Amino acid sequence: MASKRAAEVSQPTSPQSTELLRELVAHLRQNRTQLREEWANRITEAQLLTAMTKEEIFAEATSVYDNYVEALATGTFEALQAYARNLSERIIPRGVETHEVVGIVLLLRDVLARSLFAKYQADFTKLNRILDAYEPAANRIANTVAVGFVQERERVIRQQQEAIRELSTPVLQVRERLLILPIIGVIDPQRARQLTEQLLRGIRTNRAKVVVIDITGVAAMDAAVANHLVQTVEASRLLGATVIVTGLSPEIAQTIVNIGVDLGKMNTVGDLQGGIEQAERLLGYKVIPVAELALPT
């Protein structure tokens, strides 16, 4: 049986298969209500799309079904692709998983194939020819929907990464003309570049005179990143701001000494508190406890 089918597949005559597809589409349109319902039932049975209500599943099933038949009929996938993307956009935030989406499309494929079996069981040759026309198209549809879903997910992930990256290097104003830049975690070259960009821009917009970069939360950095840090300090100076680096770990101190930085250019203080105190001195602030002020002189 398999060999016979293979022989037929090897010579697909396109007008004929178009004819078959047309017949197929007519069949699917005719039995729309029944097939759609069966499909929705199968989805519920298989416990897919549990995040959605039965009504929602039915509504989605209807439009997926129509788009599916449309793609079969026209042989173009743009509309389906757009729909798949739109669908993914709506269901990803509700926690629908990849296997569920692939699962429902494969279920639809099965339901339709079953109905074809039922219809053409008397005429085996015809059934084979119909399946030859149906299967490649159905596979492509399944592929399109799955890829659309995964792409949408990846887009969401990329967006979130971007958001995390921006959150990861806050430039904060502590006092007029004083910024702090607390850095936590691993600095890779990309993050280092972004950090520099944000800091230099922050100096401009906040008209900062002193910046404290606190790297207590950074365990180690390689020579390239350490070098980048030193360059950032120098670039800040060109903008007229003094940079104080605080909280260097022994490992980072070692790295910086190893790459041979001229320490005259780098202003370092042990901890963040010391850094802010020195910055305040540079800016001409003096912090006096209220109690001391109240003392009679």
The verdict on 169 binding another protein (CB under 8 A) reads: no
Choice from 127, 200, 220, 266 touching another protein (CB under 8 A): 200
Asked if 261 touches another protein (CB under 8 A), the answer is no
- Residue 41 vs 227, nearer CB to another protein: 227
* Range list of H helices, 168-218: 189-206
Q: Give yes or no for residue 220 binding another protein (CB under 8 A).
A: no
Question: Contact between 241 and another protein (CB under 8 A)?
Answer: yes
What residue spans of 121-268 are helical by DSSP H? 124-167, 189-206, 223-238, 250-258
Which residues contact residue 31 at a Cβ distance below 8 angstroms, ignoring those fewer than 6 apart?
115
Would you count residue 176 as binding another protein (CB under 8 A)?
A: no
The nearest distance, CB 242 to another protein, in angstroms, is 11
Using CB under 8 A as the binding rule, whether residue 240 contacts another protein is answered as yes
> 129 exposed, middle or buried (CB, 10 Å; 0-12, 13-18, 19+)?
buried
Measured at the CA of 214, the angle between CA 210 and CA 217, to 5 degrees, comes to 170
**Which is closer to another protein, CB of 114 or CB of 204?**
204
Structure tokens at 30: 């005719």
At residue 246, φ and ψ (nearest 5 deg) are: -125, 160
Q: Can you name the residues that pair with 178 across neighbouring β-strands? A: 175, 210
| CB-based contacts of 237, cutoff 8 Å, min separation 6 | 243, 265
Asked whether position 281 contacts another protein by CB under 8 A, the answer is no
In terms of CB distance, is 242 or 249 closer to another protein? 242
Task: Report the residue from 231, 254, 258, 273 that binds another protein according to the rule CB under 8 A.
Answer: 231
Give the residue, chosen from 162, 234, 251, 271, that forms a contact with another protein under the rule CB under 8 A: 234
With CB under 8 A as the contact rule, the residue among 72, 203, 211, 243 that binds another protein is 203
Which positions lie near another protein, rule CB under 8 A? 196-197, 200-201, 203-204, 207, 209, 231-232, 234-241, 265
